[in-house]
Amino acid sequence: MTAINTAEQPITALRRWAILFTVTLATTQYAMAILVVSVLLPQMQGSLSATQDEIAWVMTFNILATAVVTPMAGWLEARFGRRMVMLGGVAGFLVATVACGLSTNLSVLVLFRIAQGAFGAPLVPLSQAIVLDIFPKRQHGIATSVFGMAVVVGPVIGPLLGGYLAEFHGWPAAFFMFIPISVLAFLGLAALLPEKGGQARTRLDWTGFLALSTAVIAFQLLLSRGQRLDWFDSPEIIIEAVVAIVAFHIFVVHSLTAMRPFLNPRLLLDRNFVLGICIVTVYGMLNFTPMVLLPPMLQGVMGYPDSIIGFLLGMRGAGAIAGFFAAMFISRLDPRVGMTLGYLIQAASGVYMSNFDVNTTIADVAINSALQGLAVGIIWVPLTVATFRTLDPRYLAEGSAIYHLLRNLGSSVFISLSVTLVIVSTAVNYAGMSEFISDYNKALSLPWLLGAWNTGSATGLAALSGEIGRQAALIGYINAFKAYTIASLAVLPLIAIVRIPRN
């Protein structure tokens, strides 16, 4: 194989930190763009004359593109070189984002959202590989703290800024806000990033790539559409499940037998890496789930206005920033200490949420959101350091791609399960509580029991039904928060068996 450019020049400390700032900026814009559409969907639906099911494809196809291209990060670096992939990713992301803002029909918007996800997907794993590669191991803690803010805080900031701009300037403005960030990131990368990788004859294992891509696409479609189609009562969901299982089986068999598989199974021989990707899957499961569950609960059950909900989500971002700063100091300790502390804080926040009721105050929710963010920030740094501590530097890009793929899949899986749990629990509890509203229930004849409600008129019954529905929904959310707590505690045994080699 002929290397395009393998010369490695010493990197000064100033340049090292400048590269960290630049790749963090590139990652931040992509992380912000992932969820920014979530607050724009109502506006886009009306502007583009789309149904609720049609407009959902704007987010679904972006997620699919991200899931397909993320595992390619290692091969892209090996084939085209780290510098070219990063510059191409930022430039392609910028063009696709501007095109999203200029789109006048749904088909074009979906097409460019696919391009946005495809060009942006390699940025996160390659940026993490760059950070771990250019910094000595003694500085991995502080460098990962700075970089981690982009990955974790970006999805919190994106919807807040995007929602504000969309409210006053229309939904295209939420896409145009990325232009200065992308331009600055591109110029910084062009000036600072050294070349690495780039083998002119590196071939792509098409069998492994297509098998894994098919499995991931089918699985993501199953998760995205399962609730709307009533899960396995739908032929589409059954087909997607079968395709995902068969394709993943082909991928595993091929990876174990091929000479040069798409993803190197030797990575699984590293104990810390295997434990790390398992733990980061749980991390992904817990990261975004409260952001999905809390807004509808606060609005529908407790009647909070949108402005207050935005503030409460912002508290999560503030907590995350505090967590990353704390991690800079905690990283000097055994990484298992930081991970354990973070997951215990997450479990405490889950217990806190499990005790919410219809009279929960804004202060309670704000404190809980800050706790969740604090936990997320504390966990990320020691988790990343421990996962890649013993991994061969040659496999950093490939390992980072798997790391972030499983983080994203974990998030999709747990969000879908949590939303399903809320809906099913709400229906079951509504039916159970409604059984007590009957003429045969003599307690209802007591004048002080029903208060303002009554069963003698349609208006009274409607009001009573609404209150029962509100209480049933709250029980559903509490059940989901209990699952969140259990997942936070279930990962602790894995942390205990992580091996930390001595320097």
Residue 133 has a pLDDT of: 85
Say yes or no: 252 and 373 in one domain: no
Take residue 301 and report the two structure tokens written for it. 């059950």
Q: How confident is the model at residue 6 (pLDDT cuts 50, 70, 90)?
A: very low
Say yes or no: 359 and 435 in one domain: yes
Query: Could you tell me if 470 and 358 are in contact, meaning their C-beta atoms sit under 8 angstroms apart?
Result: yes
Indicate the residue among 203, 219, 251 that finishes a domain: 203
Say yes or no: 34 and 122 in one domain: yes
If DSSP codes are grouped into helix, strand and coil, which group holds residue 135?
A: coil
Residue 247 has a pLDDT of: 92
* CATH of residue 283: 1.20.1250.20
Residue 479 has a pLDDT of: 93
Q: From CA 395, how far away is CA 401, in angstroms rounded?
A: 10
Indicate the residue among 222, 237, 261 that finishes a domain: 261
Say yes or no: 434 and 406 in one domain: yes
User: Residue 318 is part of which domain span?
Assistant: 265-503
Q: Which of 19-33, 50-64, 318-332 has the lowest mean pLDDT?
A: 50-64
Say yes or no: 110 and 1 in one domain: yes
Say yes or no: 244 and 352 in one domain: no
If DSSP codes are grouped into helix, strand and coil, which group holds residue 3?
A: strand
Say yes or no: 35 and 171 in one domain: yes
Mean pLDDT of 4-10: 48
If DSSP codes are grouped into helix, strand and coil, which group holds residue 103?
A: coil
Say yes or no: 301 and 177 in one domain: no
Q: From CA 203, how far away is CA 223, in angstroms rounded?
A: 32
Say yes or no: 387 and 472 in one domain: yes
The pLDDT mean for the chain works out to 83
Say yes or no: 195 and 284 in one domain: no
Query: Could you tell me if 362 and 312 are in contact, meaning their C-beta atoms sit under 8 angstroms apart?
Result: yes
Q: From CA 284, how far away is CA 268, in angstroms rounded?
A: 20
Long-range contacts of 495-501 (CB under 8 A, 24+ apart): 495/279, 495/336, 495/339, 495/340, 495/343, 496/336, 497/275, 498/272, 498/275, 498/276, 498/335, 498/336, 498/339, 498/386, 499/271, 499/272, 499/390, 500/334, 500/335, 500/336, 500/386, 500/389, 501/389, 501/390
Q: From CA 136, how far away is CA 117, in angstroms rounded?
A: 31
Query: Could you tell me if 231 and 277 are in contact, meaning their C-beta atoms sit under 8 angstroms apart?
Result: no
Count: domains in the chain: 3
Q: Which of 168-182, 194-208, 249-263, 489-503 has the lowest mean pLDDT?
A: 194-208
Report the DSSP beta bridge partners of residue 199.
3
The tens digit of pLDDT for each residue in 377-436 reads 899 888 988 888 888 888 888 888 888 888 888 888 888 888 888 888 998 988 888 777
The tens digit of pLDDT for each residue in 271-317 reads 899 999 999 999 988 888 888 888 888 878 887 776 677 777 778 88
Three-state secondary structure of 434-455: HCCCCCCCHHHHCHHHHCCCCC
pLDDT over 70 (residue 149): yes
Residue 435 has a pLDDT of: 76
CB atoms within 10 A of CB 333: 12
Say yes or no: 385 and 425 in one domain: yes
Q: Give the pTM.
A: 0.80
Say yes or no: 237 and 191 in one domain: no
- Going from the C-alpha of 276 to that of each of 218, 281, 390, 393, 420, the distances in angstroms are 25, 8, 11, 16, 28
The tens digit of pLDDT for each residue in 329-362 reads 887 778 888 899 999 999 999 999 998 888 888 8
Take residue 491 and report the two structure tokens written for it. 């990962």
